[in-house]
Amino acid sequence: MSLKNIALCCFALGAVAVASGQQSPPRQEQALVSRTSADAWWKHAVIYEVYPRSFQDSDGDGKGDIKGIESRLDYLKSLGVDAIWITPMYPSPQVDFGYDIADYEAIDPQYGTMGDFDALLKTAKAHGIRVIMDIVLNHTSDQHPWFKESASSKTNPKRDWYIWRDGKDGSYPNNWQSWFGHSAWTPDKTTGQYYYHYFYTQQPDLNWRNPEVRKAMYGVMKFWLDKGIAGFRMDAVSRLFEDPGLHDDPYLPGYNAFGDRNIQHKYTDDLPETHVVFQELRKLADSYPSHPVLIAEADEPTIADLAKMYGTHGDEVQLPMDFQIADLNELSAPKFRKLFQEVETNPADGWPEYFFSNHDQVRQWERYGDGKHNLEIAKLMAVLEMTPRGTPQMYYGEEIGMRTTEPTRKEDVRDPIGITGWPKEKGRDGERTPMQWTPAAPNAGFTTPTATPWLPVPPNARTINVETELADPNSLLNFYKGLLKLRHTETALMFGDYKTLNPDDADVFSFERKVPQGGQGRNIVVAMNMSAAVHTVKFDDVGAKGGVVMQSNYSASGSKVDLGGLELPPFGAVVVAVE
Ligand code: NOJ
């Protein structure tokens, strides 16, 4: 039996397994998985990003923690989540809220203990939820013992673990800028040299050309994989290497929010050696029979650049996050159609990964809402995230339509870039406010009633919260639940091809997901009106005139539709089973 046929015989079974939250695929699928990654678990998973500081506090210190996450696994399971990506929980001075790591093989006491983490893993497994850790390979905290040693003298054995250079003409070694403002070089009094940091000055970059650094980091990853985690979201990995010749970056017109000249990060991003590291990382992941996934933070300038991350032989990152789609910031049918088509047909034949919100960007409610139809648009965006071919990734609170609540005074800002860049850049606090669970308890149930949450709970938590939305059949939360259920039960959504429909329509983005040959189930047409006007669309290419609504933001499930003339209200979105 060919591999393709093995895949076909598993369609129905695979759908049931994922829907029921089983950790391991059924036997036939297991056989497939062991021979090819064609049906790897991460292709059928819905990933949910947990920002641990803001998700659920269990001990009343106003900051979320591991026990808090564990206590919400029932909720995540009922939502239909298959894997959680937890942003860094390692010991850290918390300058960048965990992205400045001081010890890679421990848990920061503010989040709990290693015992709590092990318990979380165990309970998550019992819920059929995998746990993905965030790993910061590009840099450490300046409080990490490696950096302290490295900074102690020019001859320290760890000196070369970081990027140290002499200044030039009494100033910085070159014009490279930190992503977080100003020079990427900080002078060091002890040795008279400068160290390089792509991000905050407290986040010195590791020297990935040093084999000892590589060995140490792979050891760290093994430590967590051995515990049974399901993979890593790899932070800032396109920045692992810098030009050894220290060429100046070219300037671009204008100035950024920090008052620096705009710059193209030409000599510090996407250097060819990065791919060698990706291959090594992939080998490490593939040495585990559980098929851990590598997800790359990949804010690449084009989808062609993103495609390179899969590797020319599919031997690098399985899921580079698609920032082109996430950051379109405009509800445009032609633009979304083009981007989805590009990633669909990417030269590496890599599996797409979609998201619209995360802990670094204004929430999708504001970025895509028009101020008038925001709920319809939020539901449309949910359809757009959950129905194409690829792995969707959600951000906590997205499912209830959490808003971005920015600080109104500089003195309230917690994220350092909001202080450096105020008032143009207010930082990322706005999208990191505590999860809104219930209207009944103070602090929306995020922490104990008398605690002070690390960021204020937005007043809108009285109406926008899990409990209220669970009780409302038309809520965004129930809309997401319905879509996640479809993703786990419809063969066409799990395994089907993707085909653009009506490619010239200026306002309606539509596509077909077709049950593969030999599979069972219904073909699906997805249509999204990305305009504020009513539109009628005809689907001549789908081989049938009629259909039934599976899910829609304007019509009841089960209603019949005419695919020969489907009328979509402003921002109407519909998932139709073709009949
Ligand atoms: C990307 C992370 O998502 C962001 O939160 C962090 O500040 C930078 N990388 C630096 O680690």
- Residue pLDDT tens, the chain, 579 long: 233 333 333 444 344 344 333 344 443 343 333 334 457 999 999 999 999 999 999 999 999 999 999 999 999 999 999 999 999 999 999 999 999 999 999 999 999 999 999 999 999 999 999 999 999 999 999 999 999 999 999 999 999 999 999 999 999 999 999 999 999 999 999 999 999 999 999 999 999 999 999 999 999 999 999 999 999 999 999 999 999 999 999 999 999 999 999 999 999 999 999 999 999 999 999 999 999 999 999 889 899 999 999 999 999 999 999 999 999 999 999 999 999 999 999 999 999 999 999 999 999 999 999 999 999 999 999 999 999 999 999 999 999 999 999 999 999 999 999 999 999 999 999 999 999 999 999 999 999 999 999 999 999 999 999 999 999 999 999 999 999 999 999 999 999 999 999 999 999 999 999 999 999 999 999 999 999 999 999 999 898 889 999 999 999 999 999 999 999 999 999 999 999
Catalytic one of 100, 297, 429, 490:
297
How many other CB atoms are there within 10 angstroms of residue 366's CB atom?
16
How many other CB atoms are there within 10 angstroms of residue 210's CB atom?
16
What DSSP designation does 182 have?
S
Catalytic one of 108, 235, 316, 512:
235
CA angle 353, 465, 52 (to 5 degrees): 55
Token pair 């919260």 in the structure block, residue: 465
Q: Which residues contact 48 (CB under 8 A, 6 or more apart)?
A: 76, 79, 81, 83, 84, 85, 393, 394, 395, 396
Top mutation candidate among 49, 87, 96 for ligand 1, by most atoms within 8 Å of CB = 96
**Domains defined along the chain, listed by start:** 497-578 (2.60.40.1180)
Q: Is the CB of 236 under 6 A from ligand 1?
A: yes
Dist. CA 440 → ligand 1 center (Å): 34
Q: What are phi and psi of 135, to 5 degrees?
A: -120, 130
User: Coil, strand, or helix at residue 132?
Assistant: strand
The whole-number pLDDT of residue 280 equals: 98
By alpha-carbon position, which residue is closest to atom 3 of ligand 1?
360
The whole-number pLDDT of residue 39 equals: 76
Q: Reply yes or no on whether 411 is catalytic.
A: no
Q: Is the CB of 234 under 6 A from ligand 1?
A: no
Number of H helices, E strands in the chain: 18, 21
Dist. CA 92 → ligand 1 center (Å): 14
Give CA separation, 172 vs 102, 133, 164, 169, 189, in Å: 26, 35, 11, 8, 14
User: Coil, strand, or helix at residue 157?
Assistant: coil
By alpha-carbon position, which residue is closest to atom 2 of ligand 1?
235
Q: Is the CB of 116 under 6 A from ligand 1?
A: no
The whole-number pLDDT of residue 218 equals: 98
Dist. CA 535 → ligand 1 center (Å): 41
Cα Rg for the chain, rounded, in angstroms?
24
pLDDT in tens, 209-236: 999 999 999 999 999 999 999 999 999 9
Q: Is the CB of 360 under 6 A from ligand 1?
A: yes
By alpha-carbon position, which residue is closest to atom 5 of ligand 1?
360
The whole-number pLDDT of residue 14 equals: 40
The whole-number pLDDT of residue 32 equals: 34
d(CA 299, CA 471): 38
User: Coil, strand, or helix at residue 274?
Assistant: helix
The whole-number pLDDT of residue 358 equals: 98
Q: Which atom of ligand 1 is nearest to the CA of 138?
A: 11
Q: Reply yes or no on whether 212 is catalytic.
A: no
By alpha-carbon position, which residue is closest to atom 6 of ligand 1?
99
- Total residues belonging to the chain: 579
The whole-number pLDDT of residue 6 equals: 34
Q: Is the CB of 120 under 6 A from ligand 1?
A: no
The whole-number pLDDT of residue 541 equals: 87
The whole-number pLDDT of residue 135 equals: 98
Q: Which atom of ligand 1 is nearest to the CA of 96?
A: 7
**pTM for this one?**
0.94
By alpha-carbon position, which residue is closest to atom 4 of ligand 1?
360
Top mutation candidate among 357, 360, 362, 428 for ligand 1, by most atoms within 8 Å of CB = 360
Q: Which atom of ligand 1 is nearest to the CA of 139?
A: 11
